[in-house]
C-alpha cells in the first residue's frame, strides 16, 4: 500500500509556463530521457494532436512519477479560460496546487478565477513566479500584487538577484550579508506576525526570531491553505525547478489514507478504441482491484472493473489495484460519467464553478452525409465534457452545444477533424438567455384520451428569488395521485422547463402541484410524464415570462488618461459601475455588464490602452431584461402546448433520451 502520495494540480493563466514546468519535472526525475518542448509539440502532457499543433493545453493531463520515495500524481491543466471546466473537475481531487504566475504579466484575468476557486476549496497552494529571466521582470512587485489584488497572504521563501547569472537563494537564511534580503525579511516578518500571536509578541519586543521558526510557521499555515509560499525561477532554463519539486513535499500535505469503505470520484473521461470508456478516478477511501464490482452512487448501479492503470510519462501501465489517496484509470464501466461518485459519498470534496458556458452555437457537417457521424462524435465529446450540454434536435436535424468562447469552437473543429475525420463548422455564438415567470398563475391538464390513459394535474407557478433555480413541492395526497406517479411528475419537471414560451430554459421558479387525480385502471407512469410538460407550459402561458440575461462582474485597471474613453464604452454597453479608485496614475473600476454587449471588450480595451489595460471578468448573475434588449427564439421540437401533436409524439415515439429540448 502506498502511503506517501501528493496529488498536485498545476494551474495558470495561458502561456505562464505550466506545461514547461511539468516537462522539467519529468526530465529531472528521469521519467523522460528527452526534455519535452511545448513550442515543438513534443510535450508529454500535450497528448492531443490539436495541443501539439496549437501549443496550448485543452485537456487535463495526469502523469505520475516518484521523487524521493514520494509518489507525485501531477495534473497539468488548461490555462485558457475557454477550458475552465477541465480545471473545475481537477480541483476536487487535489491535495495541493502550484499556481504559476508570470514575472512579466503578473496577476492576469484567469489568475483571479483560479485563485478564488483554490481559496473556496481551501486547497494548499504554492505560487511559482516564472520567467524571472525576462527583461522587465519584477519578482517582488508581483508578490505585492498577489497580496494586494488577491488578498493572497503570499510569503516569499526565496530571493533572486538581478545579476546576469541569476542566483536563487533561501530568503530566510540567518545572517545574510545582503541588505536586500535583510529588508525583505523584515518586511515579511511583519506579515507573518499577523498569523501568530507569539511571533507578534516577540517581534514587538525586539526578540530575535529564529528563521527555522519562520519556515515552520509558513509550512503550518500552508497546510491549512492560509498562506502561500512563493518560489521563483525560469522553467525553460531549469532555474528553480528542483527547488519547486522539493517544495511540494515541504508545503503540500500528503494524501490521507483511509482503509474504510470505497469512496472515489471520477474527474475525467476519455475514450479508447480497444478499452472503451476510461474513467480517471481519485480514491478518498478504500481500494479498487481488477474485476471488482463497484457501486456507482450517482447512477445507483453496479458495474465491474476490467482493468486498472496509471499514467507514467506518456504510457498507461497496468497496476491492478489502487489504494486510498491515489489516482488512476479504470476501464470496463460502460455507463460511468464525469463527476460520478463510486462507493460512499462521504468525504468527497464539493464542486466549484470557475466559469459558466454563456454562449450557444449550432454545429453543422460541411458534408451533409456526415450529419449522423457528427452527432455521434459530439455525443462522445459531451460525455467527456458535460458542460457542452449537447442537444440533438432530430426532427430539425440540428446539433446545438454550449461553449465558453470562440477559441473553444476552433479547438472542437480541429478535434472533430483529427479524431473523427469530420469537417464541421459552427454558427456565430448566441448568448444563452433564460426566462422566469412574470407573475403567479396556474396550469391545468386533463390527459385521459385516447384511452387507456389518465393523468389530471394542476400546477401553481410563482416567480422565485433570483438565483434560486427550480423549487418544487406537492400538496396532493397520495390518495389522489399515488406516490409512484408523483415521483414521475417530479422527475419530469426539469425537462419540462428546458424551454419556456420564449425558447429558453426556465429558472427562478416555484412550482406546486395543487390538484390531481389518477385512475386505478387506466393510469400508468408514462401518462404523468406526458401530462406534466403540458400543465407546466399552460401555466407559463398564463403567467407570461420575463427574459433573464447573463451579467459579468468586471474589474478594469488602466492609466488615468484612458478613464474617459473607458467609462464612455461601459455606459454604451449598459454597464453599472462604482466610482474609480486611483493610485500611481492608474485607476481601478469595478461593476457589472451584460455578456451580450461585452463579448469582445477585452480585445478593444487592449487596443485602446496599447496593451496596458487589464480587465478581469467573473460570472455575476442573471438579471431581467426586455425582449428588445434580449433575444427570444422559436420553440425547438414538439411544443407541449400543441397538445394533439405532443400526445402523438410522446405516445408514438417517446424515448426519455430523445426528449432533449
Tell me, yes or no, whether 141 and 209 share the same domain: yes
Tell me, yes or no, whether 315 and 332 share the same domain: yes
Query: Distance between CA atoms of 130 and 360, rounded to whole angstroms?
Result: 36
Query: Distance between CA atoms of 161 and 53, rounded to whole angstroms?
Result: 36
Query: Distance between CA atoms of 431 and 448, rounded to whole angstroms?
Result: 40
Residue 656 has a pLDDT of 37
Tell me, yes or no, whether 78 and 175 share the same domain: yes
Minimum mean pLDDT among 80-89, 218-227, 295-304, 450-459: which range?
A: 80-89
CATH for 592: 3.30.70.240
Record the pTM. 0.85
Q: Residue 326 pLDDT more than 70?
A: yes
Indicate the average pLDDT of the chain: 90
Tell me, yes or no, whether 103 and 190 share the same domain: yes
Q: Residue 462 pLDDT more than 70?
A: yes
Residue 658 has a pLDDT of 46
- With a CB cutoff of 8 Å and minimum separation 6, the contacts of 201 are none
Q: In the chain, how many domains are there?
A: 5
Tell me, yes or no, whether 68 and 126 share the same domain: yes
Q: For residue 156, which of 127, 180, 182, 176 has the smallest C-alpha distance?
A: 127
Tell me, yes or no, whether 522 and 557 share the same domain: no
Give domain status of residue 448, yes or no. Answer: yes
What average pLDDT does this structure show over 231-246? 94
Q: Residue 654 pLDDT more than 90?
A: no
pLDDT digits (tens, 9 = 90+) for 188-226: 988 888 888 888 888 788 787 888 888 899 999 999 999
* Percent of the chain's residues with pLDDT above 70: 94
Residue 660 has a pLDDT of 40
Tell me, yes or no, whether 401 and 460 share the same domain: no
Tell me, yes or no, whether 236 and 276 share the same domain: no
Q: Residue 44 pLDDT more than 70?
A: no
Last residue of a domain, one of 251, 286, 307: 251
Minimum mean pLDDT among 30-34, 359-363, 491-495: which range?
A: 30-34
Tell me, yes or no, whether 60 and 182 share the same domain: yes
Residue 597 has a pLDDT of 96
CB atoms closer than 10 angstroms to residue 637: 19
Residue 539 has a pLDDT of 98
Give domain status of residue 515, yes or no. Answer: yes
Residue 48 has a pLDDT of 56
Q: Residue 449 pLDDT more than 70?
A: yes
pLDDT digits (tens, 9 = 90+) for 503-549: 999 999 999 999 999 999 999 999 999 999 999 999 999 999 999 99
- Which residues span the domain enclosing 398? 359-418
Q: How confident is the model at residue 333 (pLDDT cuts 50, 70, 90)?
A: very high
In sign, the C-alpha dihedral spanning 486, 490, 495, 500 is: positive
Q: How confident is the model at residue 52 (pLDDT cuts 50, 70, 90)?
A: low
State the SS3 of 477-544.
Answer: CCCCCCHHHHHHHHHHHHHHCCCCCCCCEECCEEEEEEEEECCCCCCCHHHHHHHHHHHHHHHHHHHC
Minimum mean pLDDT among 53-62, 280-289, 361-370: which range?
A: 53-62
Residue 277 is placed in which grid cell?
470508456
Tell me, yes or no, whether 178 and 304 share the same domain: no
In the numeric block, the cell 509578541 is attached to: 201
What average pLDDT does this structure show over 320-344? 94
Give domain status of residue 610, yes or no. Answer: yes
State the SS3 of 30-45.
Answer: CCCCCCCCCCCCCCCC
Tell me, yes or no, whether 268 and 364 share the same domain: no
Give domain status of residue 488, yes or no. Answer: yes
Residue 257 has a pLDDT of 87
Tell me, yes or no, whether 76 and 113 share the same domain: yes
Amino acid at each position: 500500500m502506498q502511503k506517501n502520495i501528493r496529488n498536485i494540480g498545476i494551474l495558470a493563466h495561458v502561456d505562464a509556463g505550466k506545461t514547461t514546468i511539468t516537462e522539467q519535472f519529468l526530465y529531472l526525475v528521469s521519467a523522460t530521457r528527452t526534455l519535452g518542448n511545448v513550442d515543438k509539440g513534443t510535450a508529454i502532457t500535450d497528448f492531443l494532436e490539436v495541443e501539439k499543433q496549437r501549443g496550448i493545453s485543452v485537456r487535463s493531463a495526469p502523469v505520475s512519477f516518484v521523487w524521493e520515495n514520494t509518489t507525485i500524481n501531477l495534473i497539468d491543466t488548461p490555462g485558457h479560460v475557454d477550458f475552465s471546466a477541465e480545471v473545475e473537475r481537477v480541483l476536487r481531487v487535489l491535495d495541493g496546487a502550484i499556481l504559476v504566475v508570470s514575472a512579466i504579466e503578473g496577476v492576469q484575468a484567469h489568475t483571479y478565477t483560479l485563485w478564488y476557486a483554490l481559496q473556496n476549496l481551501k486547497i494548499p497552494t504554492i505560487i511559482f513566479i516564472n520567467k524571472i529571466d525576462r527583461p522587465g521582470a519584477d519578482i517582488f512587485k508581483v508578490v505585492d500584487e498577489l497580496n494586494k489584488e488577491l488578498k493572497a497572504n503570499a510569503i516569499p521563501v526565496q530571493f533572486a538577484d538581478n545579476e546576469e547569472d541569476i542566483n536563487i537563494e533561501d530568503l530566510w537564511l540567518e545572517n545574510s550579508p545582503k541588505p536586500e534580503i535583510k529588508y525583505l525579511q523584515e518586511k515579511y516578518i511583519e506579515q507573518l506576525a499577523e498569523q501568530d500571536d507569539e511571533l507578534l509578541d516577540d517581534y514587538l519586543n525586539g526578540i530575535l526570531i529564529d528563521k527555522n521558526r519562520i519556515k515552520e510557521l509558513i509550512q503550518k499555515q500552508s497546510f491549512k491553505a492560509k498562506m502561500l509560499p512563493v518560489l521563483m525561477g525560469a522553467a525553460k532554463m531549469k532555474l528553480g525547478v528542483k527547488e519547486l519539486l522539493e517544495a511540494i513535499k515541504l508545503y503540500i500535505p500528503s494524501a490521507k489514507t483511509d482503509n474504510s469503505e470505497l469512496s472515489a470520484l471520477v474527474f475525467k473521461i476519455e475514450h479508447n478504441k480497444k478499452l472503451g470508456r476510461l474513467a480517471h478516478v481519485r480514491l478518498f477511501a478504500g481500494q479498487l482491484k481488477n474485476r471488482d464490482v463497484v457501486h456507482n452512487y450517482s447512477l445507483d448501479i453496479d458495474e465491474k472493473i476490467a482493468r486498472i492503470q496509471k499514467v507514467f510519462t506518456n504510457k498507461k501501465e497496468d497496476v491492478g489495484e489502487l489504494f486510498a489517496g491515489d489516482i488512476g484509470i479504470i476501464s470496463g464501466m460502460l455507463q460511468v460519467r464525469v463527476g460520478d461518485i463510486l462507493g460512499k459519498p462521504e468525504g468527497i470534496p464539493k464542486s466549484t464553478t470557475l466559469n459558466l458556458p454563456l454562449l450557444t452555437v449550432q454545429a453543422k457537417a460541411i458534408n451533409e452525409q456526415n450529419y449522423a457521424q457528427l452527432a455521434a462524435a459530439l455525443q462522445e465529446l459531451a460525455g467527456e465534457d458535460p458542460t457542452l450540454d449537447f442537444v440533438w434536435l432530430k426532427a430539425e436535424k440540428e446539433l446545438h452545444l454550449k461553449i465558453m468562447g470562440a477559441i473553444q469552437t476552433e479547438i472542437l473543429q480541429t478535434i472533430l477533424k483529427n479524431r473523427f475525420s469530420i469537417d464541421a463548422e459552427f454558427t456565430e455564438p448566441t448568448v444563452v438567455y433564460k426566462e422566469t415567470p412574470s407573475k403567479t398563475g396556474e396550469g391545468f391538464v386533463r390527459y385521459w384520451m385516447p384511452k387507456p390513459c389518465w393523468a389530471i394535474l394542476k400546477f401553481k407557478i410563482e416567480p422565485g428569488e433570483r438565483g434560486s433555480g427550480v423549487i418544487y413541492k406537492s400538496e396532493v395526497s397520495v390518495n389522489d395521485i399515488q406516490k409512484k406517479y408523483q415521483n414521475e411528475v417530479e422527475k419530469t419537471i426539469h425537462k419540462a422547463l428546458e424551454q419556456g414560451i420564449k425558447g429558453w430554459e426556465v429558472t427562478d421558479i416555484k412550482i406546486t402541484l395543487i390538484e390531481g387525480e389518477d385512475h386505478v385502471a387506466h393510469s400508468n407512469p408514462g401518462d404523468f410524464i406526458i401530462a406534466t410538460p403540458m400543465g407546466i407550459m399552460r401555466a407559463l402561458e398564463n403567467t407570461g415570462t420575463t427574459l433573464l440575461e447573463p451579467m459579468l462582474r468586471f474589474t478594469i485597471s488602466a492609466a488615468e488618461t484612458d478613464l474617459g474613453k473607458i467609462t464612455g464604452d461601459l455606459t454604451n454597453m449598459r454597464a453599472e459601475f462604482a466610482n474609480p479608485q486611483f493610485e500611481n496614475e492608474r485607476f481601478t473600476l469595478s461593476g457589472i455588464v451584460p455578456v451580450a454587449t461585452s463579448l469582445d471588450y477585452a480585445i478593444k480595451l487592449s487596443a485602446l490602452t496599447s496593451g496596458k489595460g487589464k480587465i478581469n471578468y467573473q460570472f455575476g448573475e442573471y438579471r431581467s431584461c426586455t425582449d428588445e434588449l434580449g433575444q427570444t427564439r422559436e420553440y425547438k421540437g414538439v411544443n407541449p402546448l400543441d397538445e394533439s401533436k405532443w400526445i402523438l409524439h410522446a405516445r408514438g415515439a417517446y424515448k426519455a433520451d430523445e426528449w432533449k429540448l
